[in-house]
Structures are given as C-alpha cells and as structure tokens.
Amino acid sequence: MMVLDKKKVVVGMSGGVDSSVAAYILQQQGYEVIGITMKIWPEMNEEDFENTGGCCGLSAADDARRVADKLGIPFYVMNFQDIFEKKVVQYFIDEYMAGRTPNPCIACNKYIKFDELLRRAHQLGAYYVATGHYAKIIYDKEIDKFIIKKSNAAAKDQTYALYNFTQEQLRHTLMPLGEFASKEEVRRIAAELGFSTASKPDSQEICFVKDNDYGKFIEERKSDKIVPGNFVDTDGNIIGTHKGIVHYTIGQRKGLGIALGKPAYVVDIIPQENKVVIGTNEDVFGIELLAEQVNFIHLDKIQEGFPVQAQIRYHAKPVQAAIYPLEKDRVRVVFEKPVRAITPGQAVVFYDGDILLGGGTIVKKVR
C-alpha cells in the first residue's frame, strides 16, 4: 500500500486565476505542490478552442504551465477524456433528452475533481487535492467530522455545487481561497506575482458547449432522437408546436416561438408524451418538491420537518424550508413561501446559516 505524504498536494489547475493563486498559497504554506491540468475534451480546431475558452480552451494548459514554471513546481497534463465523456457529457445529454435540466458542474465535481483526480493524486503519493473553489473545509472537533462553510467572498461562494462530498473526500481536500473576502484580492495577488492569469476573465458558460448553445450541442449528438411535439396549456389543449424538448427548461419565457398575446412560460415538460406545458408566471411557482440521491455531508440522520435554508439554483438565495426524509436517499422539501421554477434535474441544496448540510437532485414539483 502506497504511503501518502501529508505535505504533498495536487492542485487542479484550470488555467484560471483562482487555481493559480491556490497553488501559490499552498506552496507558501509549506506544501509540496504538483500542478495538474485535466484534459477533458477531445481535440477541436483552433477557432472552436478560441470560442470555447474556460478550462477546455487551447490556452488553458499553456496558462497553467506558465504559472507552474513561475512557481517552480512540477506540472502535468493528464487525460480525463473518457470519464468526462461518460460521467459529465453523456449525463448532460441524457438528462435533457429526458426533459430534465442538468447541472454538469455538480457532476464534474462529484466524479472528476474529487473522485478521479483524487485517485490520481494518491497514485503520485499526494495526500491532498486542492482546487480554486470559493468555499471553506473545516474539521469540527466536537462532532469529529469535516464540515463545509460558505466562502468569505459571498458573491463568489461555490458551495452550492459541492454538496456531494463524502467525509473521506473532505479529509483529502484543500480549498485555500475560502478565506478571501473578494475575488479582487485573489486577482491582486496574481498580478503582484506576475501571473499571466491575473486578468483572465471568469469562465461563465458550460465549458464543453460552444457559445452556450446546448440545444445545438445535443442535436449534433442526437439528431435522430429530437423531434417536434406539442405545446399544451395547463388544461392539456394544444396551442402550438415546439422544436424538441431539449430546447426548453422550467420557467423559460424567451425563445419559445409561440405568441399567445400574453406572457407565456414553460411550467412543465412531459417527455413520455413529448409535450411542453405553457402557463402563466403564477403557474411557475411551487411550494413543495421531491428530491433523490440526497447526500448529507456531516449529518447522520434528520428528523421529520428538519428546518433548513434551501437553494434550488446556483444564483438563487436560500429560503426557509423543512425536510421530510423518505426511503432510499429521497426527501420531500416544503418551502415556507412559494419558490419560482422548481426544475427537475437541478439541485436543491440545504444550509444551516453558512454551513452546507447537503443536497440532492430535484425529481419534481409536488402539486
């Protein structure tokens, strides 16, 4: 059995400013840092690389290598294409084909960054992996467990996408940026160090989807399976034709291609009937949902009506709710007030103040 070195850490370097500064901070703290860029996407032509950017762009590995050279740390590009295709890209496509709206960043964190990357870090003898996420991992002596807390930089907090962590993964993970009060502080450090990534813009879109046109991306993969169907109203009356359910998500108003003389919103998608249900803004709201594949980070069990603040999309504010446990890692979540666009496939994430409790995948809005 390989002995892991507690002073050795593999940093996932995306070619951005956050992971660059994370590597520097850990080096300053006395760790032996190894930089790794994960090659997750097949070769593209030069123009497509330029348009995609983010952690998949042609310049990402070059930017990360330049930072590693400046820090004097070993740097490797490792191939993660197969597992990324299977666990992130295929999942993304399958979810849209099933009428759900996936969150690929959550899948990438679960299966790639804190599972496969950790496994490879161990192969290099490193005890830890580290990333440039804005979140805090803290060991709580009272409960003898690790907990995740929100970043000090509230505007950049990324805990919503981290609810799948296990205690074993947390034991081996470092997130040094959680203590920073703002992204500007991180950029300032990068600039002072002369990092080429200092002024690099944040990656905003899905990294593997060109121009954020996810409908076109799926059509290129599943053109024979995407067929037009009916728009129906909430009473089931046919009111128009849609271009395939992969092009729609709950709460959507723009790009419907249907004129009803009043604002129209997607309120439901029925994949087995290839229908998209259209209603009013009021119809988009709900007060209760069902979630599955629920993971709690440091809680062994919860009681009926367990109070939390629940968040149902990345940039939404957590709101007061109660959790009711069901069988097989499923829960019912009841909100204090109606919330907008409960969307199957998205995550519902639970907090107690600034402490991340866990989360799961939304199955449906309970009517």
Read off the CATH number of the domain in which 76 is found.
Answer: 3.40.50.620
> Is there a domain that residue 198 lies in?
no
**Reduced to 3 states, what is the DSSP secondary structure of residue 177?**
helix
pTM of the model: 0.93
End-to-end CA distance of the chain: 53
> Is there a domain that residue 212 lies in?
no
**pLDDT classification of 57: cutoffs 50, 70, 90:** low
Q: Determine if residue 132 is labeled as part of a ligand binding site.
A: yes
Q: How far apart are CA 82 and CA 111, in angstroms?
A: 12
Do 339 and 241 sit in the same domain of this protein? no
| Cα separation values, 334 from 181, 293, 303, Å | 33, 17, 14
Q: Determine if residue 12 is labeled as part of a ligand binding site.
A: yes
Do 236 and 101 sit in the same domain of this protein? no
**pLDDT classification of 367: cutoffs 50, 70, 90:** confident
Q: Which of 51, 131, 165, 40 is nearest to 90 (CA)?
A: 40
pLDDT of residue 197: 86
pLDDT of residue 200: 84
Instruction: Please write the tens of the pLDDT for every residue from 103-128.
Output: 999 999 999 999 999 999 999 999 99
Cβ atoms of 335 and 287 within 8 Å: the answer is: yes
Over range 62-91, report the average pLDDT: 94
Do 274 and 291 sit in the same domain of this protein? no
pLDDT at residue 1 above 80? no
Instruction: Please write the tens of the pLDDT for every residue from 163-174.
Output: 999 999 999 999
Do 177 and 320 sit in the same domain of this protein? no
- Give the range of the structural domain holding residue 189, as residue numbers without chain letter: 5-193
**pLDDT classification of 46: cutoffs 50, 70, 90:** very low
Do 276 and 292 sit in the same domain of this protein? no
Number of domains composing the chain? 3
Instruction: Please write the tens of the pLDDT for every residue from 292-331.
Output: 999 999 999 899 999 999 999 988 999 999 999 999 899 9
**Reduced to 3 states, what is the DSSP secondary structure of residue 322?**
strand
Q: Determine if residue 18 is labeled as part of a ligand binding site.
A: yes
> Is there a domain that residue 174 lies in?
yes
> Is there a domain that residue 260 lies in?
yes
CB atoms within 10 A of CB 154: 11
Q: Determine if residue 17 is labeled as part of a ligand binding site.
A: yes
The catalytic residue positions are: 108, 207
**pLDDT, the chain, mean:** 92
Instruction: Please write the tens of the pLDDT for every residue from 249-281.
Output: 999 998 898 888 889 999 999 999 999 999 999
